[in-house]
Chain A
């Protein structure tokens, strides 16, 4: 079965600095998608970035970028120039249309704090 592991329950970063959140996953599928979702205190789930497994190029969205290592099954999120509004829970998620049957599988999340 597919699993997603986030080994850092909590992380902290100074405002304007860079932080990297870790995520590893396990799958036997070759075609899948990976996501990072942000959940601020408002509870709303917000898609931050997505990566297609068949693409070698790492996805980037403004200050957010990923380091996708397919062979290592690693998918880390880098936040550059951290802002106070980045403080939130961050969830790594996986989906495929084989074993997971098109269902998102989430990690347990990393709580990010941003210090002014």
Chain B
């Protein structure tokens, strides 16, 4: 039982490049979330999903897209990376009030 996993763990991009972050959970949770964590800002919600095939915007959705084609996976895409998207990205999943977090992805955009 791996819980919540994230791929990759680290990534460096140049401005304008695109990439996809993969989140996978093996707990059969309905709800999945993407957060970003910046210094002094705590975690902020980017997008979330309440079930397979559904997504919704969170607090800071601009510049990101998401997809939930399979219940166990939640993808976060950056179509044209900007330096302001340099951050640590966390995925989480839940079945009720408690959210289980992945180990995070550190993304640097140069």
Residues of A within 8 A of B (CB): 9, 33, 35, 42-45, 47, 50, 91, 95, 102-104, 106-109
B74 interfacial contact with A, CB 8 Å: no
Query: What is the chain A residue whose CB lies nearest that of B103?
Result: A44
Whether the pair A103, B45 counts as a contact (CB closer than 8 A) is: yes
Whether the pair A33, B90 counts as a contact (CB closer than 8 A) is: no
Compute how far the CA of A43 lies from the CA of B91 in the bound complex, rounded to whole angstroms.
12
Compute how far the CA of A95 lies from the CA of B33 in the bound complex, rounded to whole angstroms.
14
Partner of A108, one of B41, B45, B48, B50: B41
Stretch of B64-72, B77-85, B93-101 contacting A (4+ beta carbons < 8 Å): B93-101
Partner of A45, one of B40, B48, B101: B101
Partner of A50, one of B44, B97, B101: B97
- Known A-B contacts A43-B103, A43-B104, A44-B101; the reply to A104 vs B45 at CB < 8 A is yes
Residues of B within 8 A of A (CB): 31, 33, 40-45, 48, 50, 58, 88, 90, 92, 97-99, 101, 103-104
Contacts of A43 in B (CB 8 A): 88, 103-104
From residue A8, how far is it (CB to closest CB) to chain B in Å? Answer: 13
Contacts of B50 in A (CB 8 A): 102
Whether the pair B99, A104 counts as a contact (CB closer than 8 A) is: yes
Contacts of B31 in A (CB 8 A): 102
